[in-house]
Amino acid sequence: MICTQHRTLEREAKRDKNRPLIKLYDWVAQPRAIEMEQVVPSPLMYEYRNKCEFTVGYRLVDDSVKEEMKEEEVKKEEVQITEVKKEAEEDWVMVDGNVKTEEASDSAKDASSEIKDKETTPPAQPKAFQKVPAVGFLAQGWAGGVYSPHTLQNMPNWSCGLADIFNNFISSSKVPPYDTKLHRGMWRTITLRCSLRTKECMVIVLHAPAKGGAGAKEDGSDDYTSVFEDEKQRLVNMLTKNVIPTPTRFFPENHDYEKMKKQSNGEGGEGIRVTSIYFQKFDGLSNPKPEHPVQHVYGKDCLEEKLGKCTFQISPGAFFQVNTEGAEILYNIVLDRIREVTDKPQQTLLLDVCCGTGTIGLTMLKEGVVGKLVGVDISKPAIQDAKINATKNGYTDEATTKFIAGPAEKELPSATHELPKDVPIVAVVDPARDGLHGNVIKTLKANEKIQRLVYVSCNPTATLTRDAGMLCSPPTKKYPGRPFKITKSQPVDMFPLTNHCEMVMTFDRMSKEEFDMYHGVSKHEKADEKNAVDVKPATKSKEEEHKEEVKKEVN
């Protein structure tokens, strides 16, 4: 995209001779414009997830019910019998015209016997399946049924134990799973969050309305209001009666299963209990937004997690990295990138865009690489958590930490306008998979006080490349400001056993000298400067002259 922007400006310069011709930046013209560091591995290869989301649906179970064989299968069987007959006839070898050899005769007998068996043996019946309510993953879409999470090695033991509890509950529930085609039923998804460090576990159950909904029957036969409250209480009792069970699972030899089991159970072997339960009603067709209301029914109203030197509170809809130990590695890389440019850390302000619960910004404050923090995030629950987390970690002064709830494209321009004029600024962005809004890029690029930008991306092959092109392209009317250039690119394996990687990309502002070398000064700008010097003062009006004469007389 950077090269494309240069070509566009080059074509415009040929049409308008007053427009300066922009050279391709040296760092872009290199054989490998962006140097990629080696991938930093995750501390844990297996059972690393602290958040799991399961779908409630149906699993397909073998049934003994007899069904007639499909027409296609019958034809296939007939073709196979015909081929056997043909092969048997070819095995009859003639000697001296009519005499058969003993070997050929034996072969023919075997073939005849095989044909007879084929003709007399009834065709095998195909397997029939029965739908059973279940909780798990849709490995093959809705038509393929729900699969158990136990075989997935990135799933921790506690999540599989909770899946077993839910499967026991859902198989005997008076309320059916939600049907995405008919939009009927109730149980939809289960979100699980857990901290092995604090031994806390949160459960969020997403369900459709007990009555009505998008696909409700006109006769009201799918009204579950009379049984739903009892079913909710039964589920709460099942989840909180005992510690989360540890199912039997199989892992590769390089996985210390007993160590992870001991870590899950704690030093005293007491195990992990469900400490918080929420229910969330949603009548939409896709997924609720992070700020969609939830109903707290049991235990604590949040989950507490320890990360580095900080303690963080996590609400049901707030974002938090799914790999806690991997997040510490990731944040240490961000820490190093910021430390490199903060000569006066206590005077440096960190602008944290898409800050979530404040994990990155508060970690940077705690480590002492910055002295002030301004965070922006679209999720109101996350910002509420961020403010509480600031207090939890000893930052109560708004002059030190400030968090703003709202879309970054709307809040960031005014937030940057209110930043102190006499402090150095570094920025960190950690957007969702959709990347940065164009207005966010415009604001970051136009504020030339931001000398370094650290971009943490979970979608490096798509939105990061798009945003990097806009940040590093020559200035335009829509995106003014000296461009950035990519100086470091560090992938971090936050999702082992998958094809995904997190990317920490460092952008440094192009210096004024380097910018002038490439862009120069246009003829229009030179003419404007000359005119600005040669322009004579404007002639005073008669009214102004009269006022001056009156002023002289008074004096």
Catalytic positions are 458
Q: Which residues is 79 bridged to in the sheet?
A: none
DSSP state of 286: S
- What tokens does 257 get? 């299963």
Percent of the chain as helix, strand, coil, to the nearest 5: 35, 20, 40
**Placement of tokens 């509950």 in the chain:** 169
Residue 341 burial (C-beta neighbours within 10 Å; 0-12, 13-18, 19+): middle
* Residue 482 and residue 448 in contact, taking contact as beta carbons nearer than 8 Å: yes
* Residue 337 and residue 426 in contact, taking contact as beta carbons nearer than 8 Å: no
What backbone phi and psi angles, to 5 degrees, belong to 533?
-85, -40
The span from the CA of 288 to the CA of 205, in Å, is 12
**Placement of tokens 């440019």 in the chain:** 341
**Placement of tokens 């970051």 in the chain:** 444
Q: ∠ CA(238), CA(242), CA(246), 5° rounding? A: 100
- What tokens does 194 get? 């857990």
**Placement of tokens 């705690």 in the chain:** 366
DSSP state of 132: E
Helices of type H across 16-145: 26-29, 71-90, 102-120
- In a 13 Å sphere around the CA of 414, the CA atoms on its Cβ side amount to 8
